[in-house]
Structure formats: structure tokens, C-alpha cells
Structure 1
Amino acid sequence: MTRLLHIDSSARPGRAGEHPHGSHSRRLSHAFVNRWRAARPKDEVVYRDLAASEPTVVRHEWIPAAFTPEDRRTPAQHAVLRESDTLVRELKAAELLVIGMPMYNFGMPAPLKAWVDNIVRIAATFDFDPGRDNPYVPLLADRPRRAVLLTSRGGNGFDAGGPLAAMNHADTALRDVLGFLGITQVQTVAIEHEEAGGPALAASVARALSAVDALADAWLTA
């Protein structure tokens, strides 16, 4: 059985194609999960809507708590990390991450960045060994994990090799974060041209939905 962690982060609550002004990234993430569930209905899916329930941003008291060994934390420090502990457990339990993420101002939405800051934790998802050439040790490389980033962008040309690729600090940053933790099998499917609309957007949506189906089918048989 494969455990999926399905995350949405768009501020738009609905899904494009079903709801007025719905989210394209939510449409893609749900399309992937629905196709997976149709083939593997017994697989566990944990769903977290970060826009509906935003993770707490990292504050001053969080930092010393995270850097204090677990057996030496005070009750107050354990309380500060309780939400982060839950998010880390969900991440570590999953073999497949399905992340819906629109690009906002060239980066990821604030709730998704708050999730990232809560799950990148020393001694939990990575460690530090100054004796190594690369002192950072990924702790999520203990077993195979994969991730698919389902993203939407108002403009176009943000894919690798595109004219605006250097301004893509959304899925590229999230890919780097996941790789840092040990999740290196990461695929991206994107919808572009939302601002232009019309045939360009329709063609991009069709390509993305087809790519989602193909990727889900490939991973289901891998």
C-alpha cells in the first residue's frame, strides 16, 4: 500500500472546471489523486488544505525548541512544536507527495512556505554532521519517496530553459527543499497562460491534465 500526502495551497477554494474562479492547481492535484484512487482505492490519502488551515509561521520561541534535543525540551517547548510534529509525521509517513501550488509573485504561497518552515527540522527531517564534506544529512532518504508538484502560473515561459525560468522561485525552490530532505524523485506539471486566457490557457490545461494522467499511470505501474 502506498500512503499519499495530498497538499493544496491555493487561496482559491474551488477547482477550475468545476467552480467559478476555481483554482487550476487544485484541479490538477485532485485529478492526480482521483486517478490514483480509482486504481488503488485502498491506498491511504491524507489531505491537508494549507489555505483553509494555515500552519503557524515560525516565531522566536520555535527556534530554540527545535534545536533542543527532544528529551531535554520543556513542556512549553513541546507545545510550541506540536503542530510541526504533526506535519513532520504526515510527511515521514508518506511515500508519495501530491502538492498543488500556484505561483504567487514568482514564489510559493505563504501557507506553503509556512509548511516548509515547519517540516525542515534538524534531527527530524535532516541532520548536520560537520565531519562530512557535505555536512547536511537528509533523513527522508531512508526509503523511496516521490513527489509531484502541480502548479499554475499567470504568465508563461517559467519552465526550465524558458525565458523567465530564472524568475521561477516556486516549484524550483520546493524541489530544492524536498531534495535537501532526501526526496529527489520530483516531477512538475504546470498550467500557464492564465492571465492570457482563451485558446492558450485551454491548450495548457489540456496538456497538463494529460500529463497528470500519464504520470499517475506510470507511477502506478512502477
Structure 2
Amino acid sequence: MTILRLDSSITGEHSVSRTLTNAITAQLTAANPGEKLVVRDLVAAPLAHLTLPEFADTSVIDEFLAADTIVIGAPMYNFSVPSQLKAWIDRIAVAGKTFQYTAEGPVGLVGDKRVIVALSRGGFYGPGSPAESFEHLKTYLSTVFGFLGVAPEFVHADGIAVGPEQRAAAIASGLEEVVALAA
């Protein structure tokens, strides 16, 4: 069994999404000794934006397809995913490999994977919030992975830019959600 961990936050040791991906992978590996953990830091080793020559390199999709569980750190930048994460997604959403088009519409081909996404957002974008319509992080990732045939699981840390107390509360809440993943 292989766990692929992706981090896309630019804030390094101050990253809330990295705090959550650390906790998730620690919990997964503790529960499943012997799991292979592959870590890809999309900031330390960024992928180039997709071009036709880049598209020919299959190493990223091969790594994705070889993993049983994918853990993604996804901070919200300007209402959506960081460009580093988008460059990775562009490499794994490939017709004929992770989805196919049919006469009845697209069909995802990757339904046998577990995808866990650690979201961190500076404000509050949940249902009923004043900024709900600005939320394009969770909705985008749900759409992309759903298109590939996977229903992702999410843990959340919201309001981390509101102030130090809310940041601490958001991290604590996200870590509680991590623990609940094992339940």
C-alpha cells in the first residue's frame, strides 16, 4: 500500500494545511505499519505549467496511479487552489487514463483510491456564510476528483486569517476532523 502526500502551501512551517497533512499521514501510517509514504512538495519542487512537452512526461500520473491513498494539502489562494496544485491536477486528469468520454458522458476511471484533502481557508466560506459564493476550493476539488471517479474526503481549518484565537481554534477543529477519519 502506498500513500502519496502532496503539499502546496507556500508558507512552509507556518502552513495550516501542512499541519493537517502531517497529522493525516501520521495517523494513516500508525494505523497501517509498513505503508510506503511518498511525499511531493509542490512548492519546493514545483511542476511547470502544462505544455505539450510537459504533457508527454508521465511520471506524475504514474505516481498518482500507483498510490492507494492520496493526501492533499490545499490552502485557498484567491478563492481557489494554488497554481502549484493546479499544475499537478493538469498532469493527472488525462483522458483514457483517469477518465474517459462515452456516449453517455464522462466516466471516471480512478474509483479505487482514497483521497483526503486538508483545506485551509483564511475566512469562512461554508454554507450560509456571506462569502459562500466565493468558495471555489472545495467545490473545484470535489468536481475534479468526482470527474475522475473518486469522492474525496475533506478536513477543514477555516477562518485562519481572522485572528490568532480563531487560527488556533481552526487548527484544533481540523485536527479533530483528522482523528474522526479513522472512526
Q: What is the TM-score when the length of structure 2 is the normalising length? A: 0.93
Secondary structure, aligned partner of 2:136: coil
Q: Within 5 A, what are the aligned runs for 1:23-42?
A: 23-42=15-34
How far does residue 13 in structure 1 lie from its aligned partner after superposition?
Answer: 2.0
Q: Which amino acid in 1 is paired with 2:120? A: S
**Residue among 78, 96, 103 paired with 2:69:** 96
Secondary structure, aligned partner of 2:118: strand
Is residue 130 of structure 2 the alignment partner of residue 163 of structure 1? yes
Q: Which amino acid in 2 is paired with 1:33? A: T
Root-mean-square deviation (CA, aligned residues, Å) is 1.6
Structure 2 unaligned residues grouped into runs of 5+:
none
How far does residue 80 in structure 1 lie from its aligned partner after superposition?
Answer: 5.3
Is residue 150 of structure 2 the alignment partner of residue 183 of structure 1? yes
Q: Which amino acid in 2 is paired with 1:139? A: L
Which has the larger strand fraction? 2
Is residue 19 of structure 2 the alignment partner of residue 53 of structure 1? no
How far does residue 169 in structure 1 lie from its aligned partner after superposition?
Answer: 0.9
Instruction: Give the aligned partner of residue 140 of structure 1.
Output: 110
Instruction: Give the aligned partner of residue 90 of structure 2.
Output: 117
**Residue among 207, 213, 220 paired with 2:173:** 207
Instruction: Give the aligned partner of residue 11 of structure 1.
Output: 10
Is residue 158 of structure 2 the alignment partner of residue 192 of structure 1? yes
**Residue among 42, 48, 60 paired with 1:87:** 60
| TM-aligned CA distance change 1:80 to 1:163, over 3 Å | closer
Report Cα offsets for 1:123-144 as digits up to 9, x if no partner. 1211222xx222x121213xx2
Instruction: Give the aligned partner of residue 71 of structure 1.
Output: none
Alpha-carbon distance between aligned partners in 1 of 2:101 and 2:92, rounded to the nearest angstrom: 16
Q: What is the TM-score when the length of structure 1 is the normalising length? A: 0.77
Instruction: Give the aligned partner of residue 17 of structure 1.
Output: none
Q: Determine if contact 2:157/2:171 at 8 Å carries over to the other structure.
A: yes
Report Cα offsets for 1:42-96 as digits up to 9, x if no partner. 011111111111112112xx1xxxxxxxxxxxxxx6x7512xx111111111221
Q: After TM superposition, where is structure 1 displaced by more than 6 Å over at least 4 residues in a row?
A: none
Which structure has the bigger radius of gyration?
1
Structure 1 unaligned residues grouped into runs of 5+:
15-21, 63-76
Secondary structure, aligned partner of 2:129: coil
Secondary structure, aligned partner of 2:12: coil
Alpha-carbon distance between aligned partners in 2 of 1:146 and 1:160, rounded to the nearest angstrom: 25
Query: How many pairs align?
Result: 183
Alpha-carbon distance between aligned partners in 2 of 1:161 and 1:178, rounded to the nearest angstrom: 24
Secondary structure, aligned partner of 2:140: helix
